[in-house]
């Protein structure tokens, strides 16, 4: 038997991650699997990798926000898109708070990993096998999308990305699990919107039997997290503050992001960063 903490979508939230890991240790977890999206929009960068490295962590797959980080430093952006402007300003913050060794490590992250525990094979992705972005695996989507995820050679399929905890089956009976989000909880249902606790899952494995799944939620100190963000001079701090207080996420709100960029006067900084984009299309690590 093993107890495995499955975590995903930290999104730069150092304090939420620390709270989740304290809960996992208290619950007796002996292994940790991470499903991607470590950065943006919170203040965490190299310190988050240091926290993960202190664990017995055996998997880390690439999330879509790791891809976005590379795009913003390599210049693979739409300079007229407010989302890309926002991501570039934040991406520069993250990149400069990482080491060259971190850069190399993150670029080498795989899209999928598989682990065999107690006779069962577990497949870990951020979203789909070859596409770590999009909405096809949101909880209310068609069964066909989940059957496509479960087409690989595995018994249990773990994915993140949607920020919604989930346990369901494929049409063939395989187990599909989403642990939710450590650092960016949100919901479409207004009655649940006040629950902004960090989310993760604990799997308890059994010999040649389906694991027991414990979907967990952990309170953390949002004000301590915002104090870290302020001390680090995190860009777009007002948007991060509103997110932690209300659960409203602005990362895809083009009008809101355009207004925030204007309000903070980030246009000159964005122009400076664009002028530094590498001609090779690959930032110096």
- The domain limits of the chain are 2-218
User: Tell me, what's the pLDDT at 280?
Assistant: 58
Q: What is the mean pLDDT of residues 201-222?
A: 95
Instruction: State the pLDDT confidence band at 282, using cuts at 50, 70 and 90.
Output: low
Are the C-beta atoms of residues 156 and 122 closer than 8 Å to each other?
yes
Q: How many helices (H) and strands (E) does the chain have?
A: 10, 10
CB burial of residue 188 (10 Å; 0-12, 13-18, 19+): exposed
Of the listed ranges 64-73, 97-106, 203-212, the least confidently predicted one is 203-212
Structure tokens at 20: 């989740």
Sign of CA dihedral 39, 43, 49, 53: negative
Instruction: State the pLDDT confidence band at 285, using cuts at 50, 70 and 90.
Output: low
Instruction: State the pLDDT confidence band at 6, using cuts at 50, 70 and 90.
Output: very high
Q: What distance lies between CA 2 and its chain's CA centroid? A: 24
User: Tell me, what's the pLDDT at 173?
Assistant: 97
CATH number assigned to the domain with residue range 2-218, chosen from the 4 options 3.90.550.10, 3.60.21.10, 2.60.40.1180, 1.10.1740.10: 3.60.21.10
Asked if pLDDT for residue 281 goes beyond 90, the answer is no
Pairing relationship of beta strands 175-178 and 166-169 according to DSSP bridges: antiparallel
Average pLDDT, the chain: 96
User: Tell me, what's the pLDDT at 149?
Assistant: 97
User: Tell me, what's the pLDDT at 165?
Assistant: 98
């Amino acid at each position: 038997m093993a107890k495995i903490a499955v975590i995903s979508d930290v999104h730069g939230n150092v304090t939420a991650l620390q709270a989740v890991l304290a809960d996992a240790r208290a619950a007796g977890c002996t292994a940790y699997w991470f499903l991607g999206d470590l950065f943006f929009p919170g203040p965490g960068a190299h310190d988050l990798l240091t926290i993960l490295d202190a664990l017995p962590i055996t998997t880390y797959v690439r999330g879509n926000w790791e891809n976005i980080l590379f795009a913003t430093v390599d210049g693979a952006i739409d300079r007229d898109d407010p989302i890309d402007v926002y991501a570039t300003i934040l991406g520069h913050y993250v990149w400069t708070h990482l080491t060259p060794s971190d850069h190399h490590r993150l670029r080498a992250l795989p899209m999928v990993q598989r682990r065999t525990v107690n006779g069962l094979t577990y497949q870990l992705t951020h979203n789909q096998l070859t596409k770590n972005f999009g909405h096809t695996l949101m909880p209310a989507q068609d069964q066909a999308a989940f059957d496509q995820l479960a087409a690989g050679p595995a018994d249990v399929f773990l994915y993140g990305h949607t920020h919604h905890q989930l346990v369901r089956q494929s049409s063939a009976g395989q187990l599909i699990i989403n642990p939710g989000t450590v650092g960016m909880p949100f919901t479409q249902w207004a009655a649940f919107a006040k629950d902004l606790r960090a989310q993760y899952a604990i799997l308890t494995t059994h010999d040649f039997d389906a694991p027991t799944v414990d979907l967990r939620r952990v309170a953390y100190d949002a004000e301590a997290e915002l104090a870290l963000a302020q001390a680090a001079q995190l860009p777009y701090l007002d948007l991060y503050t509103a997110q932690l207080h209300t659960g409203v996420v602005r990362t895809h709100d083009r009008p809101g992001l355009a207004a925030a960029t204007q309000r903070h006067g980030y246009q000159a900084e964005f122009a400076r960063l664009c002028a530094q984009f590498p001609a090779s299309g690959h930032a110096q690590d």
